[in-house]
Structure 1
Amino acid sequence: CCVLCSAILSSYLLGERLNLLGKLGCMLSLVGSTVMVIHAPEDEEVTTLDEMLSKLKEPGFLAYAAILLAVCLFLIFYLAPRYGQSNILIYLTICSVIGAFSVSSVKGLGIAIKGFFAGQPVLQHPLTWILVVTLVASITTQINYLNKSLDIFNTSLVFPIYYVLFTTIVITTSIILFKEWVTMTVVDIIGTVCGFLTIILGVFLLHAFKDTDISLGNLPQVLQSGQQAPVTRDDKNILIEVDNSSIGPEDKPKVFVIYT
């Protein structure tokens, strides 16, 4: 949604033009989001920090978090110094993997804030401060590597790839942490996957052809300009083809006549 909102607001507030493919991408993103909301699983009710702590301490999520942390450290300390300047996926994968921790921290802090206004002693709970530290560290890391990626690579490539990777990691984290898809039917699973793929297609159209001047008015001209160049057929009777276009008049062969 942030990618879609930024594109729409920039077209109105910053005067950036949204071409035909960009509008089509926005429409596909809205359709995909609607399909995902219709088929989305119901959130498991977690109302206290103790319940959130029990979710975080489950073996499945601990193993998943350990794998993500190991992958992130491997990317930061080994792959990023060697291939970060040439491969766009290195920095964006770091941002996306760290996003799993930031989203989980935001979910837990939301519960803590509700408990604080309800009069619960959430400030004395150690999980509150662990979530705060995790959120600050993860957001700082995300901003750092996202800015590095934007400084090196094209923006029209960075945002779609980051959106797809980040959304995939967040959905996977939600499945493992809250087990939201356990009660889903096959129709809801297929609908959610199709909606997510539709969003990916819409974001791709929105950014991949961002600098292309395509509208309903000039669409026929754009299609005509993409016609193939005429194909030259080879003459099978010619044994050797010589290019004489670069030969000047003085360099051409001369004929001498001998009189006797």
Structure 2
Amino acid sequence: MNGMSMDNFRGLILAVSSSVFIGSSFIIKKQGLKKAGASGPRAGQGGHSYLYEPWWWAGMITMIIGEIANFAAYAYAPAILVTPLGALSIIFSAVLAHFILKERLHIFGMLGCALCVVGSTTIVLHAPKERHIESVKQVWHLATEPGFLVYFWVALAVVAVIIFHYVPRYGQTHLVVYIGICSLMGSLTVMGVKAVGIALKLSFGGVNQFKYFETWIFTIIVIFCCLLQINYLNKALDTFNTAVVCPVYYVMFTTFTIIASIIMFKDWNSQGGTEITTELCGFITILSGTFLLHKTKDMGKSSSGRLPVYTSPESNTVAESR
């Protein structure tokens, strides 16, 4: 295991801070929605009274701060370190919901949180060091190498096929259609964000990078990919259960982002088989914890006090008729 570099440490602090802010924002916004719902139509029923609620705006500001910290983290640390740490926001929101919103965190949810922490720690301890970059032109060179160009154009081609062929036919019935678009575009977004973040870091350090056209191309790519990603993520959230969308999106988005980063920034070139295997084990541990946390989030809420059993709609109908 290599010692953690100062850039990796800064990226780690920013990524963890981002998770704390984003995780807190969900709870603060939920408080605002509850207060707004007590005095007017709820947001789920089409109401917009939450826009007048200070708590909801406090939650939005907290989320924006978290996203800015996450943006900055990519400028210092490799995506293979920053992206998986997004799971910590899920843990933080679950723990706060348990104590503040009285949404009981079941024993399996606690186990899921523990798995996420263990997996995150494993990745942090074995993550590759950030590549030393002195100009955005170096990032452009990495982005225009054959390996990443193939990934970039294949990703865009797959997204185009999904949008024009599969969305009209299966968008409303198959979650993977919308999430596939979000995840592929999300991986390109992160690569663009990392490039722009590096440009900002160097510019603040006294070496202006915005005089290069490459910086502006990366900026345009980030804006385009973000808009497309947000559009289809909203469609997924509006069509499918959030408890299913969140873990599936997290898994696919993180997987594609790590693949893109490995291809573009060659994160694993400086590492041996043991370190790479350990990182993969840490990643799988985080995925397991995330799924466990989401799948058991509603356990213990049944009036009988027993754990609810996941059954088919038909069996639920039979049970309700008794």
What TM-score bracket applies, with the shorter chain setting the length?
0.7 to 0.9
1:116-162 deviation per Cα after TM superposition (whole angstroms, max 9, x unaligned): 22333322211121121111111111111111111111111111100
In structure 2, what is the equivalent of residue 67 of structure 1? 154
- Structure 2 CA distance, aligned partners of 1:82 and 1:196? 33
Contact 2:299–2:307 under 8 Å retained in 1: no
Aligned counterpart for 1:19 among listed residues 72, 81, 106? 106
**Pairing 1:46-61 to 2, within 5 Å after superposition:** 46-61=133-148
**Pairing 1:85-96 to 2, within 5 Å after superposition:** 85-96=172-183
Indicate whether 1:188 and 2:188 are aligned.
no
Q: Letter of the aligned partner of 1:20 in structure 2? A: I
> CA, structure 1 residues 13+137, in 2 after alignment: closer, same or farther (shift >3 Å)?
farther
- Structure 2 CA distance, aligned partners of 1:39 and 1:119? 32
- Structure 1 CA distance, aligned partners of 2:134 and 2:140? 11
Aligned counterpart for 1:32 among listed residues 103, 119, 143? 119
Aligned counterpart for 1:107 among listed residues 184, 194, 198? 194
- Structure 2 CA distance, aligned partners of 1:47 and 1:11? 45
1:19: how far off?
A: 1.5
Q: Letter of the aligned partner of 2:273 in structure 1? A: V
> CA, structure 1 residues 13+222, in 2 after alignment: closer, same or farther (shift >3 Å)?
closer
Task: Calculate the TM-score normalised by the size of structure 1.
Answer: 0.79
- Structure 1 CA distance, aligned partners of 2:273 and 2:210? 42
1:13: how far off?
A: 4.3
Contact 1:28–1:201 under 8 Å retained in 2: yes
Q: Letter of the aligned partner of 2:120 in structure 1? A: S
- Structure 1 CA distance, aligned partners of 2:218 and 2:125? 31
| Fraction of identical pairs, as percent | 42
Q: Letter of the aligned partner of 1:202 in structure 2? A: G
Contact 2:110–2:293 under 8 Å retained in 1: yes
- Structure 2 CA distance, aligned partners of 1:187 and 1:82? 44
1:78: how far off?
A: 1.1
- The structure with the largest helix share of the pair is 2
Query: Following TM superposition, where does structure 1 have runs of at least 4 consecutive aligned residues deviating by more than 4 angstroms?
Result: none
- Structure 2 CA distance, aligned partners of 1:89 and 1:59? 28
Where 1:137 maps in the other structure, the secondary structure is helix
- Structure 1 CA distance, aligned partners of 2:100 and 2:212? 44
If asked which structure has higher relative contact order (CA below 8 Å, sep 6+), I would say 1
In structure 1, what is the equivalent of residue 74 of structure 2? none
**Pairing 1:93-242 to 2, within 5 Å after superposition:** 93-213=180-300
- Structure 2 CA distance, aligned partners of 1:189 and 1:154? 34
| Unaligned residue ranges in structure 1 (runs of 5+) | 227-260
- Structure 1 CA distance, aligned partners of 2:139 and 2:264? 9
| Unaligned residue ranges in structure 2 (runs of 5+) | 1-86, 311-322
Once superposed, what is the RMSD of the aligned Cα atoms?
2.0
- Structure 2 CA distance, aligned partners of 1:116 and 1:44? 18
- Structure 2 CA distance, aligned partners of 1:44 and 1:207? 35
- Structure 1 CA distance, aligned partners of 2:265 and 2:127? 13
- Structure 2 CA distance, aligned partners of 1:149 and 1:12? 29
Contact 1:109–1:128 under 8 Å retained in 2: yes
1:196: how far off?
A: 0.9
Task: Calculate the TM-score normalised by the size of structure 2.
Answer: 0.64
1:85: how far off?
A: 0.3
- Structure 2 CA distance, aligned partners of 1:4 and 1:40? 21
Q: Which has the larger radius of gyration?
A: 1
Contact 1:3–1:159 under 8 Å retained in 2: no
1:114: how far off?
A: 1.6
Contact 1:72–1:97 under 8 Å retained in 2: yes
